[in-house]
Amino acid sequence: MRKLINDPENLALELIDGFCLTNKKKVKRMAPHVCARVDAPIKGKVGIVIGGGAGHEPLFLEFIGQGMADASVHGQVFTAPTPDKVLDAIKAADSGEGVILLYNNYAGDVMNFDMGQDFARLEGHKVETVLINDEISAFPPDQAEERRGTTADHLVIHVAGAAAEAGMGFDDLKKLLERAVFNCRSLGVSTSECTLPETGLKTFELAEGRMEFGMGIHGEAGIEQVDLMTADETAERLIDGIIADLPFKSGDDVIALVNGYGATTRMEMFIVMRHMHKYIESKGMTIHETELGEFCTAQEMAGVSVTLMKLDDELKKYYDMPADSPGYVKV
């Protein structure tokens, strides 16, 4: 392992230190593991709280700001934040209009965020949860509630932040976000492993010249290992799986996204996007907007994930609104 770190036990706190110093005009530290946009809580606005384990930056830490989340809570690397830290984040975001928690569907996160939510309710806060579960490989469609969240996160967070900023009420916002999550599908492929900073151990093993479809962002087992494929072949394999799952169909308007896992060059991502764009349009779908970059990483893991988000008029309206956060800007 070759990482520029100090004491592994202090990784999350030192990461947040550096993030806040870098973005001191945009964010503020509300508690050791909690950051908020500088103007939070915002009067008359439903609060949006996001969070999860460190090690996936820019997710979740860097997605707070205008048209994004109000507060973020960061745990240790690949580890859910504790319930007391979740409570701190809820308090940082609540202006009296209630708070919606948006996070990925992993057992540890669900347990700790649910406990933090319960603590907040006991203190009089109105809080509800919308789980993100866009990754299709781990469970079939009839068990979609068991699926994990991955690279649709920032799209859903942006819709949440934009709609809340526009004054949408609590109940309507929750329904909108549930629809936004349902309309997202993601699938990825890994071409190399990542290591845990605390231990230096690889999270999984991948032989030379092999790639794995469906690998999770914490090293969870994928669905199939194959010999390394070309970029075009990989793009088609990913898109075919996604299209069949929703199902997407001719005439749909979509956002098409390519995400790098941390060690993937932009050269590779652009080559994947090139064919993916053509392939989606060959299916009769319209690409409303294309996004490419690192939105959800897994340390130095190499590979890409692809996300499609099906748009209706309301989702398109809020997606097209501006966003200004350290990790995601939309004009």
DSSP lists the bridge partners of residue 77 as 54
Q: Is 56 a residue of the active site? A: yes
From the candidates 33, 154, 158, 218, give the one annotated as an active-site residue: 218
From the candidates 33, 56, 154, 158, give the one annotated as an active-site residue: 56
* Helices 170-182 + 153-165 axis angle, to 10: 160
Q: Are 75 and 12 in contact (CB under 8 A)?
A: yes
| Residue 192: Cβ within 10 Å count | 19
Q: Is 275 a residue of the active site? A: no
Q: Are 70 and 306 in contact (CB under 8 A)?
A: no
> Whole-angstrom Cα distance, residue 331 to residue 327?
14
Q: How far is it between the farthest Cα atoms of the chain?
A: 55
The catalytic residues are 56, 218
